[in-house]
Amino acid sequence: MENMGKMVKDSVEASIVGKTVEDRAINYDAFFDHLDPYYKNGGVESVCRKLFDMINIEPKFVQESNPEFKEMRQKLHTEGGIVIANHPMPPLDVFSVIQSMALSEEEKAEGKTERTDCKILVPDEYVEVYRKHFGSENWVSTEELKTLSGFRDILEHINSGGLFIIFPTGLHEETEKKIQFQDGFASILKRIDKEKMVYSFSVDYNDIETIRKEHPALLLGVFAEARTAFGEAGNLNDRRPKEFFKVDENYSTASQWQETIAAHDKDDVNEALTDLYLSKFVKNDENEAKK
């Protein structure tokens, strides 16, 4: 019976998001078509609000109750560096990070309509979809980063005060159900100034797994339920109560991470950086479950 349930669940996933990354990119493209008007009227910030309202699931930023939260979050507007996050449920985790980096009231007062200082790394198969719907300047493909010129562009971007958003687990976390940093993050870390910021987000793994189990139509995306929601109601509020997934966040400097790199052999660096992220920057009880 358990195997039969898994087969049904897997079938639902495949029909919703596609069996391959390429199929998923096509479905992302079709789904994002619905969000285009919100991007045109209010940028990515408006897209985030509409997306989470539509599926009736929202990120809950747990550090907001911290007295130092406002000062820490402000650093995302005043310091250059790397922003990292785990990646258990794209695109929800992607948009939760983007939402946290929305324009400040001061920036809006200056007439800004978009964060032009942020670049976001996405898989090759998805990059053109994101560029098509949400602006072409902010999205960097993994293949571009692998080229010498692309890598140098990102280093220059960071060193000149820009932010680079990267999901170090790649798509492996989604498929393998554990946090394990992949190549790329360490290569950048080694080559930026030690005082540069590394701002870490952690999407609560247990919350995401609960959403996966209770709402299999949202697995790996938000397609099936969300597509039917673009009718008269325009959201899923009448279908179920609002749900939340917790997002923690912490500030650090590159020096803390660079010390870890220096203390380990090349083959052990990714695992060491993963352990650092889990032990010092992910403040919840699920760390052991995530390894």
Examine residue 145 and state whether it is found in any structural domain, yes or no.
yes
Q: Which of 12-16, 79-83, 214-218, 250-254 has the lowest mean pLDDT?
A: 12-16
Distance separating alpha carbons of residues 199 and 6, to the nearest angstrom: 37
Examine residue 11 and state whether it is found in any structural domain, yes or no.
no
Say yes or no to pLDDT of 98 above 50: yes
Examine residue 201 and state whether it is found in any structural domain, yes or no.
yes
SS3 call for 9: helix
The string of pLDDT tens digits covering residues 138-197 is 899 999 999 999 999 999 999 999 999 999 987 766 666 678 898 889 999 999 999 999
Task: Classify each residue of 173-195 as buried b or exposed e, where b means 16 or more C-beta atoms within 10 Å of its C-beta.
Answer: bbeeeebbbbebbbebbeebeee
Examine residue 240 and state whether it is found in any structural domain, yes or no.
no
Structural domain boundaries, residue 113: 56-215+245-284
Chain mean position to CA 10: 23
Examine residue 220 and state whether it is found in any structural domain, yes or no.
no
Distance separating alpha carbons of residues 177 and 91, to the nearest angstrom: 16
Is 234 within 8 Å of 49 (Cβ atoms)?
A: no
Examine residue 270 and state whether it is found in any structural domain, yes or no.
yes
Examine residue 74 and state whether it is found in any structural domain, yes or no.
yes
Distance separating alpha carbons of residues 35 and 122, to the nearest angstrom: 19
Say yes or no to pLDDT of 21 above 70: no
Q: Which of 22-31, 97-106, 210-219 has the lowest mean pLDDT?
A: 210-219
Examine residue 230 and state whether it is found in any structural domain, yes or no.
no
Tokens standing for 109? 């007062």
Query: How confident is the model over 24-28, as a mean pLDDT?
Result: 77
**How many separate domains does the chain show?**
1
227's CB contacts (< 8 A; 6+ apart) are 31, 34
